[in-house]
Amino acid sequence: MTRAALSALLSHWRRHPLQLAMLLAGLALATALWSGVQALNAEARASYDRAGAFLAEADLARLEAPAGLIDQADYIALRRAGWQVSPVLEGRVDLGASRVTLLGVEPMTAPPGAVAADLTGADPVAFMSAPGQGFAAPETIRAVGDAPFELIEAPEVPVGQVLVDIGLAQALLGLEGQVGRLVLLPNQPLGLPPLNEIAPHLQRVDPETETDLAALTDSFHLNLTAFGLLAFAVGLFIVHAAVGLAFEQRRGVFRTMRALGLPLGRLMALLAAEMLIMGLLAGTVGLVLGYLVAGVLLPDVAATLRGLYGAPVSGTLQFRPAWAAAGLAMALAGVLVAGGQGLWQLARLPVLAPARPRAWARASGRGMRVQGVAATGLALLAGALVVIGDGLIAGFVLLAALLLAAALFVPLVLAAICALGERWARGPVAQWFWADGRQNLPRLSLALMALMLALAANIGVGTMVSSFRTTFVGWLDQRLVAEFYVTARTEAEAEALRAALAPRTDAVLPVWFAEATIAGLPARLYGTADHATFRDHWPLIAEAPGAWDRLAAGEGVMINEQLARAADLWPGDTVDLPGAGRLAVAGVYSDYGNPRAQVMLGIDAFLAAFPQAPRLSHAVRMDAAEVPALMADLQDDLGLPHTLMSDQAQAKAVSLQIFERTFVVTGALNILTLSVAALALFASLVTLSGMRLAQLAPLWALGLTRRRLAALDLARGMVLAGLTAVLALPVGLMLAQVLLAVINVQAFGWRLPMQVFPADWARLGAWALLAALVACALPALRLARSAPADLIRVFAHER
């Protein structure tokens, strides 16, 4: 009996292969996008952890010089005083065909287990003696090609880094006699002399609780996750539609089987098993697809993260069982959510109820009203959250409520538009066009809602990314306004440097800073010269009158947005600065990408408060064309390594290049999400076309040609899709606003001004119409080519 019942149930799918394909494709695509994004995130996070654990430094305190570099003599002095420290020197350098981060370590004093887990082929003698050895990930070695020393594959070394002996690192970076930081070993001997007796200019930095990388890159991963979730939701619409339709169409079968004696429990178990199998099948396919998607996108994601945040992310994807399990669970949960409603209805279906196939989820007036009430409720919730919501979770609830409300409103608004169209239409065909559109809305509503969500997500995320880009680029322009940046290694060298720069440049501005705790937050204080560079270009988001004059006079300070929001300090408030007393907040400036608090102080006030602060870094205003020559001269005359100089044009070009890589990823995800929505529309239209013959046959009998009917169907599909796209625009902009003004502020402490890009909307609208055209074309073609006999048969079978 069970076997017969199963065969009867499955025969439905044999007769409706397209429906089956839609169901599986929808679920597989939804799973693919979701799990693909998750794979990207997991890979990136694993890379951060690897990077953190790589030198086993994550848990160790270290000594740093505020100016950046530490004289090797300080290292020796500390060791000779008993301090158990080990030097590390890190720096970017061109190696072979690639630019890499050199990680110079001293193996004899490195903390136990510090230099990675197991560097195969390590030979300390070869590592420490000329010409040396470098350990790097295989892809780094491929990118580098030829190096002046042996490169050995070590997959555990973060991508883009090369582990070398500290001596080799000094030579390659041109930093002989300098080290970057001193790692404090866990076991220090008894009775150490205090640090300030040996190297008072060094600072002890305790290990961070969370890696900076994780904090910095959170925004990026958050966006990816949001995208993945949206894509999954859109995919679920397809699944929901297909499963619901299958339940609807099999009502007769169910009733017959029940009448023949199949217990309800058995029937439900069979249907549940059917869905489970489909979930597993589609989920597996989805995982494979997701893995492929992630594999294709990972190099770009990795390049973005490397470039943007210096996060060493491997470009090679690894298979993680936990990820696969989570993806499959998502697929199963999805199919159960989609089929749960059908099962529930089946459980309440009286055996002898008429098997008249009703339109599934037919929009009765009451249904519409319920939907309207729900949508309004959600919209009100979203509105309330805008006013009273606080925190990241509230931000996400707001996002969800907003999107769901908008989606639920879609069929209502479209129905209203169709009703209006019907009223204004002239002629019976036009009236039928609108009335038929309204009649079929309930069947299409899920697909149209999915399309609307996909479009809104595209507009919202696209607007956010583009706004971020525009703002960031503008901000880069403002912040990196000096043509040339240079750092000296010692105070004496800095002195010589300033003397050498003075006659050849317009202005040499100090970039001198000290660390302090401001309003309970670790902050960096900068001494700022009074110069047009800052007055004209610095990006202020709030300022008191005469802000720059007050800064120059030492009466006020500028703080960055992060500090302003974290400590709720704005122009008009005062802030307590160690050594400088209580000063007014004269202005707040945007400081994207920096997780820490920052304060700008007039240079005189700064020097009075922090006379010990190193005076090594400088921003130089000059003719941009002269920069390369100046760099070459400084290298020759002062022996200044090129790693301590940076040409602003070059820096900016690199940043922009990185941004383009970011857009490759968002762009690809956008297109994929839209494809899923188009597929949903296609699925709905295909299933609808089979049922519509009964509605179209009378019109055909009245004299409308099949070609005309097909054209009208196509036109209606396009009109509905077009209207949906128009509706998606305000929703997308609201979404963008929430992302920029709520989510960003809660997650990262800065607010981005929204910028609109109508050209992008037009492009997206065209894509939506194209997708709708493709989705409508096949059913319309089928209608145009349907045999007259089929149409006549409608009347013969009329019930």
Partner 1 sequence: MNARRALTRRGLLRLLAAGAALPGVARAQGFAGLGTTAEGFATPQRGRALVFPDDHGPHWAFRIEWWYLTAVLRGADGQEYGAQWTLFRSALAPEEGAGWDAPQLWMGHAGLTTATRHFSAERWARGGIGQAGVTAGPFRAWIDEWEMTGRAPEDADALDALRVVARGGDFGYRLEFDAEGPLVLQGDAGYSVKSPIGQASHYYSQPFYRVAGVLDLPEGPVEVTGHGWLDREWSSQPLQDDQEGWDWLSLIFDDGTRMMGFQLRGAEVFTSGTWIGPDGRATPLPHGALRFTALEEVQVAGRAVPVRWRVEWPEGGLAIETEPLNPQSWMATSFPYWEGPIRFSGSHAGRGYLEMTGY
Residues that bind partner 1 (CB under 8 A): 72, 76, 79-82, 84, 106-110, 112-130, 165-168, 170, 176, 187-191
The closest alpha carbon to 238, from 438, 481, 448, belongs to: 448
Q: Judged by CB, which is closer to partner 1: 149, or 227? A: 149
Cβ neighbors of 145 (< 8 A, separation 6 or more) are 96, 97, 98
Shortest spacing between CB 130 and partner 1, in angstroms:
5
Shortest spacing between CB 91 and partner 1, in angstroms:
15
Shortest spacing between CB 192 and partner 1, in angstroms:
9
Cα separation values, 397 from 41, 83, 340, 593, 643, Å: 22, 52, 24, 25, 47
Q: Judged by CB, which is closer to partner 1: 125, or 352? A: 125
Shortest spacing between CB 195 and partner 1, in angstroms:
14
Shortest spacing between CB 132 and partner 1, in angstroms:
9
Q: Judged by CB, which is closer to partner 1: 187, or 612? A: 187
Q: Judged by CB, which is closer to partner 1: 115, or 317? A: 115
CA distance 66 to 200: 11
Q: Judged by CB, which is closer to partner 1: 74, or 561? A: 74
Specify whether the backbone of 708 is left (phi greater than 0), alpha (psi in -120 to 50) or beta: alpha
For 209, the token pair is 């609780």
622: Cα within 13 Å, side-chain hemisphere: 25
CA distance 349 to 351: 6
Shortest spacing between CB 188 and partner 1, in angstroms:
7
Cα separation values, 166 from 70, 127, 641, Å: 13, 10, 16
Q: Judged by CB, which is closer to partner 1: 110, or 398? A: 110
Q: Judged by CB, which is closer to partner 1: 132, or 160? A: 132
For 239, the token pair is 């699944």
CA distance 437 to 415: 8
Give yes or no for a contact between 275 and 339, defined as CB atoms under 8 angstroms apart. Answer: yes
Q: Judged by CB, which is closer to partner 1: 78, or 381? A: 78
Residue type, 51: A
Q: Judged by CB, which is closer to partner 1: 125, or 492? A: 125
The closest alpha carbon to 317, from 98, 47, 660, 101, belongs to: 47
Shortest spacing between CB 122 and partner 1, in angstroms:
4
Shortest spacing between CB 609 and partner 1, in angstroms:
35
The closest alpha carbon to 399, from 375, 376, 381, 372, belongs to: 381
Q: Judged by CB, which is closer to partner 1: 112, or 703? A: 112
Shortest spacing between CB 191 and partner 1, in angstroms:
7
Shortest spacing between CB 577 and partner 1, in angstroms:
38
Specify whether the backbone of 177 is left (phi greater than 0), alpha (psi in -120 to 50) or beta: left
Looking at the DSSP assignment, which residues form a beta bridge with residue 165?
105
Shortest spacing between CB 105 and partner 1, in angstroms:
9
Q: Judged by CB, which is closer to partner 1: 128, or 693? A: 128
Q: What is the dihedral of CA 170, 175, 177, 178, to 10 degrees?
A: -100
CA distance 165 to 495: 31
Give yes or no for a contact between 433 and 720, defined as CB atoms under 8 angstroms apart. Answer: no
CA distance 57 to 72: 20
